Structure 1
Amino acid sequence: MRWKKAGITVGVVAGVFLIMKYAVPVMLPFLLGWILALAVLPAARWIAGRKICRKFRFTEGGVGAVLILLLSVGSILGVMWLLQALSAQIGRLISLYPVIKREFCQIIGQCCIQVEHTVGIPARESSQYIYMQLDHISSSFLDGSQSMEAAVGSMKKCVVIVGGLILCVVSAVLILQEHGEWKKRFSSLPVFKKTRTLLKSLQSGIAEYFKAQIKIMGIIILLCIAGLFLLGTPHFLVAGLALGLLDALPVLGTGTFLIPAALVLALRGNAAGAVGCIALYLVTSCVRQFLEPRLIGKKVGVSPLLVLLSVYLGLFLYGGAGFLLGPLSALVIYGILREWDLLDYGKSE
């Protein structure tokens, strides 16, 4: 009946929202472990099927555990190398602090002079006010109690992240060990068959979603490189690549850099550069808003309007993570309604 299907649909939507909002953050290490196990399983199955592995009776679970441990060690070494490189770059940046400070003071002075010519506020007074506010900000950052609280909070977050990663690796190994037993136990259940079909469709939809995001990111990177080249920006290739990657991050976008840059250029009297930054921001934003629903909707098989609505509602309901959780929730809801024949309200039971 129509009302029954409508009620079930409302329940599905509410259930998916509650799971994504509250259960997914708690179960995230296990979900990541499950994804890691599924990613390693084909390679583990292929290696375990080799003649030498069959001779020594290596199982899929054992081979998969070794692969996961090797990936974990490689990831740890990669992170350590990145941290070492980052610390070296930070050391160089600290050594250049006097030069950066001098350049920053020159920029503030030029902006204050431009404000004096435009508004009439003396440059000396405005610059003194800015320096005074910067002193207040730096003193608040260097305050002992706040610094200690920030350090303790950072340590807690690091412990939680490291613990979650360890739990992810352990759960992935255990899932590989018990994968075959679970499959034999639940494969005959009708719910398992529908759930398996749903997961396959979700896997395909998520893969197409990320493919579309990569295509959009590539187009944005090319636009940023071309725009910065036309604006005469030095190192426009690196800057354009960084802007394109920034645009792919949830909530941020190219406006995080281009709007403040336009403001600084306007205060320094470079009206053409400021207009160029604003124009580049508008172009990249419009291109993303135009391409995102069409590419994702075309690949996933959902209306572009619904894709755009899912991104908006995701940001509104889940915060910054809604950039991913919104479309994912829409895919889950659509898959459940399709697998359980709840989309056709004109069909009576």
Structure 2
Amino acid sequence: MRRQWWLVLGLVGLIWLFVSLQPILTPFFISMILAYLGDPLADRLEARGLSRRLSVSLVFLLLSVILLLALLLLVPVLGRQLGQLIESLPAMLNWVQATVVPWIQSLTGQDFSTDIDALRQALMSNWKETGTFAATLLAQVSRSGLAVVAWIGNLALIPVVTFYLLLDWDRLTAKLHGSLPRQWEPAAVHLARECDEVLSAFLRGQLIVMLCLGIIYALGLTVLGLRFALLIGLLSGLVSIVPYLGVIVGISVAGIVAIFQFDSWLPLLGVGAVFAVGQLVESLVLQPKLLGDKIGLHPVAVIFAVLAGGQLFGFTGVLLALPVAAVIMVVLRYLHEHYKNSTLYDAHGTERQDEEAS
């Protein structure tokens, strides 16, 4: 009993330490995720005869090139499209008030013009204060020079920590395995393998699915000639981490932009076709090949995990919400199996199994 209390106190201490160090832990958690994603590739290169350091250097170089290309190619385009979208918001609200609201009123008999007009006036009044807000933000940043330096320092830590974690990943996992209490070792190894399957399927597989969907949506909307195609496509692929949410968000935003841009309902057919193709590719190719049935996280659980992580631990909590939820799911499944085989669930069934075994 005393040993169990020590374990509880140790767990409470770890949680307290995590909360206390949360502001500086973000770059380390990002580095852990990157190292976890890159370790299988490094192991494959090492199996082909390369040294661990050379394998890690090649993987690190590959990750750096991908990140650099994304920054150089995507960020300027996305920033430009986001700025254009923000500039178009007042005109889009005017169009909604003049075209969509009367149509909705004719169907429902409700008057929404006052609410839309209030929203448009609020947007226009804040629009004029954008310069003042930017100046205030710049002054605040200049006064908080140490905070900016700390933020840049944390960002610069990510590649350094990622390299050393990736270099010693197998050694760290082996030491952790060797430090497990022998009586817990079989169950811990079993849980660790299941957690690794779920996390690898989720992190690697889901990231590839999101990227592929974002590319399909962006290319399809670009072929249609839709404005902000890249921004809408990548946003839809990003939020597709929650099943069906990417389609709902993408069709809604792309449909509004299409009607506003072309002043016709026909482009909606093209928008629907683009997202239908994306869904078919995801259902028939991406999900079976990359994910299968390994994850098992319900969409509601995904939404709750992200919101709870953000509420409790900020950006770090959002970053770790889904991996932690996947691990908790594996542990709960393991406990549920033991519960179904326990006397608490079915005392008579357990007695019968003992009699048959004897």
Work out whether the TM-score is over 0.5: yes
SS at match of 2:343: coil
Per-residue deviation, 1:134: 0.8
Is 2:34–2:162's contact at 8 Å kept on the other side of the alignment?
yes
Q: Structure 1 residues 148, 248: CA separation in 2 closer, same or farther (over 3 Å shift)?
A: farther
Amino acid at match of 1:310: A
Matches within 5 A, 1:33-48: 35=36, 36-37=38-39, 39-47=41-49
1:170 aligns with 2:168: no
Unpaired runs of at least 5, structure 1: 49-62
Deviations 1:31-84 (A, max 9, x none): 447634565234324416xxxxxxxxxxxxxx1122112322343344344434
Give, in whole Å, the separation in 1 of the partners of 2:182 and 2:153: 40
1:246 maps to 2:238? yes
Distance change >3 Å, CA 168–CA 218, structure 1 → 2: closer
The equivalent of 1:331 in structure 2 is 330
> How far apart, in 1, do the equivalents of 2:90 and 2:61 lie?
46
Higher alpha-carbon deviation: 188-197 or 267-276: 267-276
Work out the CA distance in 1 between the residues paired with 2:230 and 2:197: 33
Counterpart in 2 of 1:83?
A: 71
- The 1-side partners of 2:72 and 2:193 are apart by 40
Partners of 2:41 and 2:131 lie apart in 1 by 46
Three-state SS of the structure 2 residue aligned to 1:299 is coil
For residues 273-328 of structure 1, what are the alpha-carbon distances to aligned partners after superposition, in whole Å with 9 as ceiling and x for unaligned?
79879989x999x99xx99xx9899723x8x6x73453244134213443443233
Please report how far the alpha carbon of residue 102 of structure 1 lies from its aligned counterpart in structure 2 after TM superposition: 8.9
Q: In the alignment, does 2:298 pair up with 1:307?
A: yes
Distance 1:309 1:89, change over 3 A: closer
> How many Å separate the matches in 2 of 1:135 and 1:73?
45
Deviations 1:222-246 (A, max 9, x none): 996899699x654898678535413
Q: How many angstroms apart in 2 are the aligned matches of 1:151 and 1:108?
A: 39
TM-score, normalization by structure 1: 0.56
Cα deviation per residue 1:255-289 (whole Å; 9 max; x = unaligned)? 55554555667788958479879989x999x99xx
Report the equivalent of 1:204.
197
Moved more, 235-244 or 137-146: 235-244
Moved more, 215-224 or 34-43: 215-224
How do 1:94-173 and structure 2 match up within 5 A? 110=95, 114=99, 130-143=123-136, 144-148=138-142, 153=147, 155-173=149-167
- Greater alpha carbon shift after TM alignment, 327-336 vs 150-159: 150-159
Count of aligned pairs between the two proteins: 307
1:346 matched residue in structure 2: 343
Letter of the aligned partner of 2:58 in structure 1? Answer: L
- Cα distance between partner residues in 1 of 2:308 and 2:77: 38
Find the counterpart in structure 1 of residue 353 from structure 2: none
Cα 1:111/1:258, change in 2 over 3 Å: same
Q: Using the TM superposition, give the Cα deviation of residue 140 of structure 1 relative to its aligned residue in structure 2, in angstroms.
A: 0.4
Are the counterparts in 1 of residues 259 and 267 from structure 2 also a CA contact under 8 Å? yes
Question: Quick check: 1:65–1:176 contact (8 Å CA) kept in 2?
Answer: no
Residue matched to 2:109: none
C-alpha change, 1:78 and 1:184, in structure 2 (3 Å) is: closer
- Alpha-carbon distance in 1 for matches of 2:300, 2:262: 40
**Counterpart mapping for 1:60-71 below 5 A:** 63-71=51-59
Confirm or deny: 8 A CA contact 2:258 2:267 kept in the other structure.
yes
TM-score under structure 2 length normalisation: 0.55
Alpha-carbon distance change, 343 to 165 in structure 1, aligned in 2, over 3 angstroms: farther
Classify the secondary structure of the residue corresponding to 1:326: helix
In the alignment, the residues of structure 1 paired with residue 49 and residue 322 of structure 2 have an alpha-carbon distance, to the nearest angstrom, of 37
Question: Distance between the aligned counterparts of 1:79 and 1:211, measured in 2?
Answer: 16
Identity among equivalent pairs (%): 8
Distance 1:329 1:158, change over 3 A: farther
Pairs within 5 Å for 1:10-29: 28=29
- Let me know the Cα RMSD of the aligned residues: 6.0
Distance 1:89 1:279 in 2: 24
DSSP-derived class of the 2:184 partner: helix
Alpha-carbon distance change, 108 to 66 in structure 1, aligned in 2, over 3 angstroms: same
| Counterpart-to-counterpart distance in 1, 2:78 and 2:211 | 29
Shift of 1:136: 0.9
1:330 aligned partner, one-letter code = M
Task: Name the SS of the counterpart of 1:47 in structure 2.
Answer: coil
Q: Which runs of 5+ in 2 are unaligned?
A: 104-111, 311-317, 351-358
Q: CA deviation at 1:330?
A: 1.1
Contact 1:221 1:245 in 2 (8 A): yes
Q: CA deviation at 1:345?
A: 3.2
Instruction: Name the structure, 1 or 2, with higher relative contact order (CA <8 Å, separation 6+).
Output: 1
